[in-house]
Amino acid sequence: MKINPLTFLLFVLILACQGKTHIPKPENLIPPEKMENLLYDMYVANGAVSAENKNGDKNIKYMSFISLKYQIDSVQFAISNEYYTSQVDEYRRILENVKKRLEEDRELVRFEMDSIRGEDESVPEFEDDYE
């Protein structure tokens, strides 16, 4: 029996896609609620890196502050993040909660900018690059 190379390739791809990566739960796993808060702070810090703070400083390394706040190191975060990425439903829930919180913050900033603009027409429009 002769096997078509395309059929063989399709068969191999189907088998490869069906395997689930099993990553054992690490001993020092960051709990889901803490991971959510951590990721939220990381997204906020990432967005703040290029913005000036009230002292006019830019490019501050906020990630080290986050590590101190949550008392974790980069290895613990990497191991926990790897585990959660293998737990798709749990990770999706965490990321959806983070996204919801960020969207709520964006709406609050938009509201505050609109309020300020109402009092002072020199305030620029709120630029929303994410829509």
Residue 131 has pLDDT above 50, yes or no: no
| Predicted pLDDT at 114 | 75
Q: Any idea which of 37-41, 48-52, 74-78, 79-83 has the lowest mean pLDDT?
A: 48-52
CA dist., res. 30 & res. 34, Å (int): 6
Question: Which two structure tokens, joined as six digits, stand for 105?
Answer: 């913050």
pTM of the model: 0.68
**Residue ranges per structural domain of the chain:** 29-118
Residue 79 has pLDDT above 90, yes or no: yes
Kindly report the number of other CB atoms within 10 A of residue 57's CB atom: 9
Residue 68 has pLDDT above 80, yes or no: yes
Q: Is 113 exposed, middle or buried (0-12, 13-18, 19+ CB in 10 A)?
A: middle
| Predicted pLDDT at 100 | 94
